[in-house]
Structure 1
């Protein structure tokens, strides 16, 4: 480990933090109980909602983005759920694998590594399905290739067919515009240690009313 002050991280993550953030980590720990912690926690929720641009419920999870995405999928997808997963690259494929791990019936529509998801392909797949899809799950920013996938038209196509929208925004939140409510994202997952440039260890999930309906009616919710 280097103590050089000019050391910069150029890995996909975690990203480097500013001196102010690093200094803050050296402050006394706030006990995870009592009014002081509640005040800090609620303030964090409020600030995350601003970045997510949402009025939906928002939860913080102690763990990486994978933990938050796993919790979202296991809560919202019943066994045998029909899930359309468009994408390309390592994290797009991993989204499909994670849905399968939760016993979903996954239709993975793969795009070339250097191309973004084509919303019209997604729309046609949804409109021509013999059995309706329960959800569409995709990655906003594909870290492995640098491709930024479209959000609003994909979400609109999903909503027109009554499908839940689940988005991995781990590498995009805070770096590009992400109006969760305006775009109709039901479950949106991100972390502190990418564009927000905070230390790793905390992930966030926004949960819409449609997502709550899916969770509450899921007999296999884990």
Structure 2
């Protein structure tokens, strides 16, 4: 190879190296982002406000392969507590209420073997108490509503589906004990009832399929 060709080749290599170096300097820095869970879904929130101004929020969240009930507290402009109250194959629609003494009560539905139970749990100063199962029998109990009166009695109503019978149940907690659940409405599912149609693919419609 002649000297002239060697000089031309060397010059081309030098020019190529220069442009490659400039190109590498102009590339943006790589950005690292935190990975989200496989299914970062949270839904069915509820709120309650205590007399001292503490705000409580509860919701259900996917935490594959299970679901969890999460309770958070907001006080003096700061989130002060975050508690996982339950973890199960299926949890559904948590609800909150506060007693006159400031006791926070949380209720939700959860799957237990072949039944869906309605449970209630007290939270006192950020510390969860004992979970109490209110519903009875191997049935589907869910969509509960809860209220606390001025005497501190806790009232609970919910839907119960068993065999071909649809019921509205209720019970009251007084003196640390729940009364026997009573049906205030009961009808055979063979009777044509107005049915709420949830959007296809929604979590609500998925819950209906369990």
Same fold per TM (> 0.5)?
no
Structure with greater helix percent: 1
| Structure with bigger gyration radius | 2
- TM-score normalised to the size of structure 1? 0.24
> Of the two structures, which has the highest relative contact order with CA contacts closer than 8 Å and spacing of 6 or more?
1
- TM-score normalised to the size of structure 2? 0.25
